Amino acid sequence: MEKYVVWKDHRWIYLLLIVVVSIPILSPIGLPVPISKSTMMSFDLIEKLPKGSKVLVSSVLAGGNWPDLGPPETALVQHLFRRGVKIVFIGFADETPTITETTLLPRINKYGARYGEDYVNLGFLAGGESAMAAFANDIRKVVTVDFVLKKPIAEIPIMKDIYKCSDFDLVIHIGMAEDPIRQYFTPFRVPLIVGVYGMMGPHYIPYLEAGQLSGMVIGLRGAAEYEYLLGFKGEGLMGSDSLSMTHLLVALFCILGNVYYFITKTKRKGDKR
């Protein structure tokens, strides 16, 4: 039996995983994507936004976390452009403004939105949660020029009448949920939707149930659900089948590992007698 135990040599597991991830990408299976409550709440909230509402998209998107956070942000921002709302982007990771301009926005249909009038990129603020607090309380104190045109923000049309977090109708944060709950929702009570890593979804359910979050899009699965609701095929739906196969493989290994454990445990007990 020992020679059949693939987890004794990790390379077999890696090979199996590569095969299991690749096949659905090359030949999609087309598994159905049930919509979760948290994604539906996010979609409904954005769908009800009047045209011209002001939305803050605050993010820690970077190259490293793009696989998990990129698809949710792409889907959410696509929906915002479709609704014709005004969008202000701000980044709290050093790569965020660059990746927003070079990777996120080129993938999105902006429906004729113009930079400066309908959306603006305010760049990166160092300092993590402290920077978020400073930004939420007084935007013009910490941001003087935008990222693309390097124009003073007082001269940018979209920033007229936007001075602090309470001037937005909705905040969307991509990254961890605790910081924006403390700095956007708790002091200003602005509705907050978050796009979070897949493995962190269960961690934030208490905040969703308590009403501190108005919606949540959880990783690649959440992005797949959102794209399905929007009616376009992005990275979420493309990766959804691979996600299913990978999860199935992990579950199978958990079960098989324990079957092997119990068989050998019984065998060891038998040998002792």
| Binders of another protein in range 121-140 (CB under 8 A) | 125-131, 133-134, 137-138
Question: Could you tell me which residues come within 8 angstroms of residue 202 by beta carbon, excluding any fewer than 6 positions away?
Answer: none
Using CB under 8 A as the binding rule, whether residue 224 contacts another protein is answered as: yes
- Find the binding residues for another protein in span 80-119 (CB under 8 A): 94-95, 98-99, 102-103
- Shortest separation between residue 216's beta carbon and another protein, angstroms: 12
* CA distance linking residue 190 with residue 184, whole number of Å: 7
Structure tokens at 223: 């992005």
Tell the smallest beta-carbon distance from residue 51 to another protein (Å).
31
Question: Could you identify the residue written with the tokens 């990275």?
Answer: 235
Rule CB under 8 A: is residue 254 a binding residue for another protein? yes
**DSSP tally for the chain: helices H, then strands E:** 11, 6
Q: Is 52 in the site for another protein (CB under 8 A)?
A: no
Query: Residue 78 or residue 240: which is nearer to another protein going by CB?
Result: 240
Using the rule CB under 8 A, is 230 a contact of another protein? no
The answer to whether residue 14 forms part of the interface with another protein (CB under 8 A) is yes
Per-residue burial over 191-220, b if 16 or more Cβ lie within 10 Å, else e, is: bbbbbbbbebbeebeebbeeebbbbbbbbb
The reply to whether 32 sits near another protein by the rule CB under 8 A is yes
Cα–Cα dist 151/162, whole Å: 16
Among 41, 65, 110, 238, binds another protein (CB under 8 A): 65
3 makes contact with another protein (CB under 8 A): no
